[in-house]
Amino acid sequence: MSSERIAQVERKTRETDIRAIIDIDGEGKSKVSTGIGFFNHMLEGFSKHGFFDLNIQCDGDLEVDCHHTIEDCGIVLGEAIKEAVGDKKGIRRFGSSFVPMDETLVLCSLDLSGRPYLVFDADFTTDRVGNFDTEMVKEFFYAISYSAMMNIHIKVLSGENNHHIIEAMFKAFARALDDATKFDDRVKGILSTKGSL
Ligand SMILES: [Mn+2]
C-alpha cells in the first residue's frame, strides 16, 4: 500500500478564499462551510458516500452570486483530489456508479486518465435549489474534471425533482471516485499500457 493519500490546497483570489483538505482513505467525516446551504449538503454527501474525509472552508463573494464560490470550490477540490491521489500506482483508475434517489437515477463513470473531459447530460426544471443555481452543477463538475485531470461522464437516466437529481449526481460521483481510487492487488505499477497517467 502507498503512503497517506491526504492533500491540502489553499487558494485565495479577490473573489474567494478557500482551504480544502481531503483524505482519500477516510471514513466519510466532513466539515464543510461554503456559505451556500445546499452546496454544503452536496459536499457532505460526497464525503459520506465516497468515504473521503473532507474539510472545505470557503469565504466567497456571495453578495455577487453563488458562481465564484461553487466554481472555485470545484477547482480547489479537484486540485486536492489530484494531489492526494498522487502517482496512481496500484489503483483501479476507472470507476462507475449508478445512484437512485426515489424517481431519479444517475450514472457517473470516470477515468483518472490525466486528461480533463466532462460529458454532462442533464436538464433542470428550476433555476435554483435554495441559494444554489442549478446551472452551476455543470460548472462545478467541469472545474473538477480539469483541475483533477479526469474524464467524467454524468448522465441523468430518469429524474424529476431537481434536489434529487443534483444529490444523486454528487453521490454517484463520490462512489465512482471511491471505486477508481481503490487499490487492486492485480495492478502492478500504473494501470496503463503507456506506463503513465
Ligand atoms: Mn437532500
Predicted TM-score of the model (pTM): 0.97
Instruction: Output the CA 163–ligand 1 centroid distance in Å.
Output: 6
Instruction: Output the CA 167–ligand 1 centroid distance in Å.
Output: 6
**What radius of gyration do the chain's Cα atoms show?**
16
pLDDT for 110 beyond 80: yes
pLDDT for 85 beyond 80: yes
Instruction: Output the CA 45–ligand 1 centroid distance in Å.
Output: 9
pLDDT for 72 beyond 60: yes
pLDDT for 1 beyond 60: no
113 neighbors 149 (Cβ within 8 angstroms): yes
Sort 163 into a burial class: Cβ within 10 Å, 0-12 / 13-18 / 19+. middle
Instruction: Output the CA 164–ligand 1 centroid distance in Å.
Output: 7
pLDDT digits (tens, 9 = 90+) for 113-139: 999 999 999 999 999 999 999 999 999
Average pLDDT over residues 4-26: 98
Instruction: Output the CA 114–ligand 1 centroid distance in Å.
Output: 32
Residues 6+ away with beta carbon under 8 Å from 152 = 108, 109, 110, 117, 118, 119, 141, 144, 145, 173
Cell numbers that stand for 133 in this block: 443555481
Instruction: Output the CA 38–ligand 1 centroid distance in Å.
Output: 8
Instruction: Output the CA 36–ligand 1 centroid distance in Å.
Output: 14
Confidence band (pLDDT; 50, 70, 90) for 164? very high
Instruction: Output the CA 20–ligand 1 centroid distance in Å.
Output: 22
Instruction: Output the CA 44–ligand 1 centroid distance in Å.
Output: 10
Instruction: Output the CA 41–ligand 1 centroid distance in Å.
Output: 7
The rounded distance, in Å, linking the Cα atoms of 114 and 112 is 6
Instruction: Output the CA 7–ligand 1 centroid distance in Å.
Output: 27
Average pLDDT over residues 58-67: 96
pLDDT for 195 beyond 90: no
3-state secondary structure of 19: strand
3-state secondary structure of 127: coil
pLDDT for 3 beyond 80: no
The rounded distance, in Å, linking the Cα atoms of 23 and 81 is 9
| DSSP 8-state class, residue 131 | T
Q: What percent of the chain has pLDDT over 90?
A: 96
How high is the pLDDT of residue 21?
98
Average pLDDT over residues 47-54: 98
Class of domain 6-180: alpha beta
Look over the chain and give the mean of its residue pLDDT values, rounded to a whole number. Answer: 97
Nearest C-alpha neighbor of 73 from the set 4, 7, 15, 123: 15
Domain range list for the chain:
6-180
Confidence band (pLDDT; 50, 70, 90) for 196? confident
3-state secondary structure of 107: strand
Cell numbers that stand for 168 in this block: 444523486
